[in-house]
A = this chain, B = another copy of it.
Amino acid sequence: MRFVIIGGDAAGMSAASRAKRKKPDMEVIVLEKTRDVSYSACSMPYNIADPERDMNDLVVREASVFIEKNKINLLTGHCVEKIDRENRKVSGKTIDDETFSFDFDKLMIATGASPVLPEIPGYDLPQVMTLKSLEQGRKIKAYIAKNKVNKVVIIGMGYIALEMGEAFRERNIKTTMVKPGPDFLPWMAKDLASVVRKELEANKVGLELGHKISRIVPLKEGVLIECDNISFEADMVLVAMGVKPCSELAKNAGLECEISDSIAVDHHLKTSDDDIYSAGDCADAFHLVTGQKCYIPLALRANRAGWAVADNICGTPAYLPGIVGTSVFKVFDLAVARSGLNVKEAINAGFDPVENTVKTSSRAHNYPGADIIHISMVGDRQTGRLLGAQMVGKDGVAHRINAIAVALHNQMTIKDFVQTDLAYAPPFSPVWDPLLTAANQLVKKMD
């Protein structure tokens, strides 16, 4: 049996390695269009922040290891251009412009996502960067090393934009973030978003909201980002307005694509074709709180789904129930975490949400290192269910969100969550953990 995988990043390589481990006799071919496989994309901002570190530190396993040790037929520089479902065949061109074609018994599409790049003039200037692939990371780092980069403008204010804002400030580069929309972190409870905003401002990141970008034009030195009623000069521009799934191959092959154009997969990661699977940032997932499909491309899901594809192909069926939308990111000294739905998402999913925000100490009364944790928690008035939570703070935020994630997986009510036996010791928590305080308050508000 031949298992062909398009894309050699997290999902693709997870699937390839696991398939070979489970069925050493299976022929596994991975077709990756770049030269890079298996690297920690999420670590790129921290690497870029540190001029001493080599970008290749982020490579988890070299291509040669996959080929020699795992006996995976890993072909980098191979860009698939067509999936021929009728003849069970994929074809494309190599980086050297040679054509190739492979038959498959089972196919996995793990083409990932690419940065959203609005089609306005100037996005193709050499000073304009995006950050998704390791190659793009290398390009940013090399550009800073070789050029006088004193001023950066980041277009977008999502989590990659924020992480890169921190990275540029670490490099002592003047940083301004610009976005067309009027709201800072619009998915976030207002009080929490304002804490993040203050942290950015305290670290001298300029925030410019409500400016529609019309074009980027080259100057003698650097570029000018022209907006409706304001312009910004910069030596370099980073576009970080989010990502979109790379689903063209799948769409052209007539596979079902739905949410945000991502490839529709079932709980077994199967597409609308029985022999074709998809996983990673190009595919959708079931959301366990809404019960609906969603597109939330994150690394854990990609790895887990990659494994599951391999299991299913190797005859040990794997069923992925879904995700609850847990994420965390760092903004200077703050950690920002969420899991589940915010109020707007809850309304869209048909719930009757109640939201409550608390500020509470991360550790016991007077214990050194204690800091404020801000928590916004959302429950459903009808069923009493916990629908989601968001947290911001300098101490004890990142791992606390996991308790919420597990509660959401179990569709707990707030009243049941209030009863959970969470850990207490003065160096780590008040007697009532911040999550319990938030839940207690929300119960009151819902009654």
List A residues at the B interface (Cβ < 8 Å). 10, 40, 42-43, 46, 57-58, 60, 288, 298-301, 303-304, 320-330, 335, 337, 339, 364-367, 396, 398-403, 405-410, 412, 416-417, 419-429, 431-433, 435-436
- Which of B321, B323, B421 lies in contact with A339, CB distance below 8 A? B421
Inter-chain contact B428/A402, CB cutoff 8 Å: no
Shortest Cβ distance from A296 into B: residue = B421
Known A-B contacts A400-B402, A426-B40; A421 and B326 likewise in contact (beta carbons under 8 Å): yes
CB distance from A288 to the nearest CB of B (A): 8
Most buried by B among A320, A365, A402, A428: A402
**Nearest 10 pairs of A and B residues by beta carbon:** A398-B428, A399-B399, A402-B403, A410-B410, A328-B423, A406-B406, A323-B421, A43-B426, A330-B427, A326-B421
Most buried by B among A299, A320, A401, A419: A419
Inter-chain contact A42/B425, CB cutoff 8 Å: yes
- Which of B42, B365, B366, B421 lies in contact with A426, CB distance below 8 A? B42
CB distance from A333 to the nearest CB of B (A): 11
Inter-chain contact B428/A365, CB cutoff 8 Å: no
Shortest Cβ distance from A325 into B: residue = B421
Inter-chain contact B42/A402, CB cutoff 8 Å: no
Q: Which of chain B's residues have a CB closer than 8 A to the CB of A330?
A: 425, 427-428
Q: Which of chain B's residues have a CB closer than 8 A to the CB of A431?
A: 10, 40, 42, 299-300, 303
Q: Which of chain B's residues have a CB closer than 8 A to the CB of A416?
A: 321, 409
CA distance A347 to B217 in the complex (A): 72
CA distance A321 to B335 in the complex (A): 33
Known A-B contacts A326-B421, A405-B420; A335 and B428 likewise in contact (beta carbons under 8 Å): yes
Q: Which of chain B's residues have a CB closer than 8 A to the CB of A417?
A: 406
CA distance A328 to B300 in the complex (A): 27
CB distance from A295 to the nearest CB of B (A): 14
Inter-chain contact B300/A422, CB cutoff 8 Å: yes
CB distance from A18 to the nearest CB of B (A): 12
Q: Which of chain B's residues have a CB closer than 8 A to the CB of A320?
A: 419
Most buried by B among A10, A46, A401, A421: A421
Inter-chain contact A42/B424, CB cutoff 8 Å: yes
Inter-chain contact B426/A405, CB cutoff 8 Å: no
CA distance A95 to B408 in the complex (A): 52
CB distance from A422 to the nearest CB of B (A): 5
CB distance from A304 to the nearest CB of B (A): 8
CB distance from A35 to the nearest CB of B (A): 20
Shortest Cβ distance from A10 into B: residue = B431
Having A402-B423, A405-B423, one finds 14 other A-B pairs with CB under 8 Å, namely A40-B426, A42-B364, A46-B426, A57-B366, A300-B432, A320-B419, A326-B423, A330-B425, A399-B423, A399-B429, A405-B422, A409-B412, A409-B416, A409-B419
CA distance A42 to B330 in the complex (A): 31
Known A-B contacts A43-B365, A303-B431; A421 and B396 likewise in contact (beta carbons under 8 Å): no
Shortest Cβ distance from A46 into B: residue = B426
Inter-chain contact B421/A367, CB cutoff 8 Å: no
Q: Which of chain B's residues have a CB closer than 8 A to the CB of A396?
A: 398-399
CA distance A403 to B423 in the complex (A): 10
CB distance from A305 to the nearest CB of B (A): 11
CA distance A299 to B410 in the complex (A): 26
Inter-chain contact B398/A425, CB cutoff 8 Å: yes
CB distance from A433 to the nearest CB of B (A): 7
Known A-B contacts A402-B402, A406-B407, A412-B410; A364 and B428 likewise in contact (beta carbons under 8 Å): no
CA distance A421 to B303 in the complex (A): 12
Most buried by B among A339, A403, A416, A423: A423
Shortest Cβ distance from A298 into B: residue = B424
- Which of B288, B412, B424 lies in contact with A300, CB distance below 8 A? B424
Shortest Cβ distance from A422 into B: residue = B402
CB distance from A436 to the nearest CB of B (A): 8
CA distance A321 to B398 in the complex (A): 28
CA distance A39 to B420 in the complex (A): 23
CA distance A410 to B413 in the complex (A): 11
Q: Which of chain B's residues have a CB closer than 8 A to the CB of A303?
A: 431-432
